[in-house]
């Protein structure tokens, strides 16, 4: 029976275990904590929306724009844009990055570390955008707040960067789960859109985080589905060609939405010109069609129950699409998932009405097409078909819709990608589709931190040592000698301890007396290969180490541990060969015994 000591339960031991690729129990614990934190944050965010709505919305409903006077609701976007422009755009450009795109960028290029200022900005910008009548959703803020808070937990505990990546995915999943009450869709969204990978080490912690986020939200808001829909079915298979046509139209709309939101000419306008246009078009649209304002979940519910007039459906398709896309292009950081669902539901409902006119009694209920439209539009805009299908299932609680849902989502995704040339919305917003985590090698190396493969048997020494000092250095059988230089501008060097031991043996054998042993040994002069090394943090992943070695043309790095410069110590050495041995495949059957180290295939 295994025995455990107190050292097995220390924070340092926890960090060391997380550095490995098989730290599943530790990651699951972090997933539970992340889900609890994110779920609580989502409850607070929704309470802030409700509290703000009490100031001027009828019955404190954040989506009751239809009940406001036309001039009042038309004035709200001007106030919201003015507030965001004054308070947000007076800050540095880096502090203005918010939402899902910011989460993917920090995960991709900054190892999942988030600035505190952006996180604080996301709170008030998310509330102002929704309550100010802009066409904005609450999912973008939810994902940013949850991912950054979860990552912040890992940073406070100084966990390795590979675990920060999982924490970001946990916060993302829990944010979606708590916002929609869709735990499965939260998991798939985190893995398909943010992490862009499916691994057991990531899946289980993310599942636990999503579950915990949903539980926290259900404790406060109950377990009701997001939308109540009638009991309807597709009926005749003759509807399937019309489903294909609906998916084709939605794919074209999704491509148009992405292209319009990336409108280069508009993005080059002066700031206040762009913000003025956003406020003007939103205000004018709101005067005539208040349904385009806010998140629009009330409009989705009405579309699912055939309660919207044709002119309102057209406004939700055309006007809300243009308003939302130009708001993004204008630089206002809003969540787009909610508006995308509204546009898709309206398109599907209108398609269903047209289908009833064409097919007559054999046509399915327009509410069915509204459901399909939601999933198709979400899948096409995000290029995340599985997340869209899971959202469809959990939002509607209608398993029978999955078969036509698959067809609609695939057709819409293919149309958006192939006919309009659009990548996913968030991939397009991060370096125009150049996403390093889509590279399999970088994905694999990002799952492990340097402590998992670094060589820990080393000693630090100066360049000039006496023979007695050399013998003392070799007493504990180190693998590496880290030669520290006299000035900081000279690189730290790594020398195999075996080279010094060999020199000592040869020197002792060739010496007839001990007089020559009294001189100093120059470690830069004895035979042996010396590697120039650069520092890397203990929390870094193998992908960071790999890129550092590649960019600086080095063969080794020394791993530093500690926050203060004067208190930093060298914990190990990681070589290019150690990284290559990690990602090269080795068949264990090729080994003579299970005790041998696996050898890489050449």
C-alpha 585/C-alpha 356 separation (Å) is 57
* Residue of 279, 301, 309 lying closest to 133 (CA atoms): 279
* pLDDT at 432 > cutoff 50: no
pLDDT tens across 532-545, in order? 888 888 888 888 88
Superfamily grouping for domain 8-221:
Clc chloride channel (1.10.3080.10)
The residue extents of the domains of the chain are: 8-221, 237-441, 449-590
For 271-295, write each residue's pLDDT tens digit: 899 999 999 999 999 999 999 998 8
Q: Extract the tokens encoding 174.
A: 């829990």
State residue 355's pLDDT score. 85
Mean pLDDT for 571-582 is 82
Same fold? 237-441, 449-590: no
**Is there a contact between 351 and 249 (Cβ–Cβ < 8 Å)?**
yes
pLDDT-derived band at 385 (thresholds 50, 70, 90) equals very high
Tokens of 406: 């698959």
Architecture per CATH, 449-590? Roll (3.10)
User: What is the percentage of the chain residues whose pLDDT exceeds 70?
Assistant: 88
Does pLDDT of 597 surpass 60?
A: no
Residue 500 phi/psi, 5° resolution?
A: -70, -40
* DSSP H/E element including 285: helix 271-288
**Mean pLDDT across the stretch 231-255?**
86
Indicate if the pLDDT at residue 510 is higher than 70. Answer: no
Q: Name 377's Cβ contacts closer than 8 Å, sequence gap at least 6.
A: 250, 253, 254, 340, 341, 343, 344, 345, 347, 412
Q: How far apart are alpha carbons 598 and 580 in whole angstroms? A: 12
pLDDT at 325 over 80: yes
Strands (E) in 177-264, as ranges, are none
Report pLDDT for 247. Answer: 95
Q: Evaluate if residue 513 carries a pLDDT over 60.
A: no
Q: Helix, strand or coil for residue 445?
A: helix
Which helix (H) or strand (E) covers residue 496, if one does?
strand 492-496
Percent of the chain scored above 90 by pLDDT?
41
Residues 488-502, mean pLDDT to the nearest whole number: 84
Name the pLDDT band for 120 (thresholds 50, 70, 90): very high
Q: Which tokens sit at 559?
A: 């791993």
| Contacts of the segment 547-556: beta carbons below 8 A, 24+ positions apart | 549/576, 549/579, 555/531, 556/494, 556/531, 556/532
Contact assessment for residue 160 and residue 132, using Cβ atoms and an 8 Å cutoff? no
Residue range 237-441 forms a domain whose CATH class is: mainly alpha
Torsion, CA 171, CA 175, CA 181, CA 187, rounded to 10? -40
User: What is the reported pLDDT for 412?
Assistant: 96
Give the closest residue to 529 by CA, choosing from 550, 506, 503, 509.
503
Quote the mean pLDDT of the chain.
84
């Amino acid at each position: 029976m295994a025995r455990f000591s107190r050292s097995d339960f220390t924070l340092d031991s926890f960090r060391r275990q997380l550095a490995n690729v098989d730290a599943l129990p530790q990651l699951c614990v972090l997933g539970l904590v992340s889900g609890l934190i994110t779920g609580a944050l989502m409850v607070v965010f929704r309470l802030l929306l409700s509290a703000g709505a009490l100031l001027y919305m009828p019955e404190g409903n954040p989506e009751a724009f239809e009940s406001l006077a036309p001039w009042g609701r038309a004035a709200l976007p001007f106030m919201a844009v003015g507030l965001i422009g004054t308070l947000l755009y007076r800050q540095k450009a880096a502090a203005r990055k918010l939402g899902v795109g910011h989460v993917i960028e920090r995960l991709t290029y900054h190892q999942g570390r988030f600035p505190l200022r952006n996180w604080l900005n996301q709170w008030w910008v998310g509330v102002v955008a929704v309550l100010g009548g802009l066409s904005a959703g609450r999912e973008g803020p939810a994902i940013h707040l949850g991912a950054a808070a979860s990552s912040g937990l890992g940073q406070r505990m100084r966990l390795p960067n590979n675990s920060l990546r999982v924490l970001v995915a946990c916060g993302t999943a829990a944010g979606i789960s708590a916002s929609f009450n869709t735990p499965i869709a939260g998991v798939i969204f985190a893995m398909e859109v943010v992490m862009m990978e499916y691994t057991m080490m990531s899946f289980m912690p993310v599942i636990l985080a999503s579950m915990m986020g949903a539980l926290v939200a259900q404790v406060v808001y109950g377990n009701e589905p997001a939308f109540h829909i009638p009991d309807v079915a597709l009926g005749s298979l003759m509807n399937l060609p019309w489903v294909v046509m609906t998916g084709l139209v939605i794919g074209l709309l999704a491509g148009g939405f992405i292209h319009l939101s990336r409108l280069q000419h508009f993005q080059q306008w002066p700031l206040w010109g762009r913000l003025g246009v956003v406020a003007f078009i939103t205000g004018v649209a709101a005067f005539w069609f208040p349904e385009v304002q806010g998140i629009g979940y009330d409009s989705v519910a009405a579309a699912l129950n055939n309660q919207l007039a044709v002119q309102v459906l057209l406004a939700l398709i055309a006007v809300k699409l243009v308003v939302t896309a130009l708001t993004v292009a204008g630089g206002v950081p809003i969540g787009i998932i909610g508006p995308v669902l509204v546009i898709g539901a309206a398109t599907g409902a209108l398609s269903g009405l047209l289908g009833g006119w064409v097919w007559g009694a054999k046509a399915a209920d327009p509410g069915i097409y509204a459901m399909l439209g939601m999933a198709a539009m979400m899948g096409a805009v995000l290029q995340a078909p599985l997340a869209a299908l899971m959202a469809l299932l959990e939002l509607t609680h209608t398993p029978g819709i999955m078969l036509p849902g698959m067809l609609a989502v695939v057709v819409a995704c293919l149309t958006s990608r192939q006919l309009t040339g659009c990548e996913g919305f968030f991939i397009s917003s991060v370096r125009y589709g150049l996403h390093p985590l889509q590279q399999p090698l970088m994905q694999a190396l990002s799952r492990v931190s340097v402590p998992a493969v670094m060589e820990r048997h080393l000693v630090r020494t100066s360049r000039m040592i006496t023979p007695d000092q050399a013998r003392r250095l070799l007493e504990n059988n180190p693998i590496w000698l880290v030669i520290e230089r006299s000035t900081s501008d000279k690189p730290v060097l790594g020398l195999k301890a075996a080279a010094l031991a060999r020199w000592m043996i040869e020197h002792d054998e060739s010496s007839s007396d001990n007089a020559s042993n009294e001189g100093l040994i120059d470690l830069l002069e004895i035979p042996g290969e010396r590697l120039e090394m650069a520092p890397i943090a203990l929390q870094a992943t193998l992908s960071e180490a790999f890129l550092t070695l590649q960019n600086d043309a080095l063969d080794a790095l020394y791993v530093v541990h500690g926050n203060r410069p004067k208190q930093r110590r060298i914990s190990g050495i990681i070589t290019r060969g150690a990284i290559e041995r990690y990602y090269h495949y080795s068949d264990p059957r090729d080994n003579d015994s299970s005790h041998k180290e696996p050898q890489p295939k050449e």
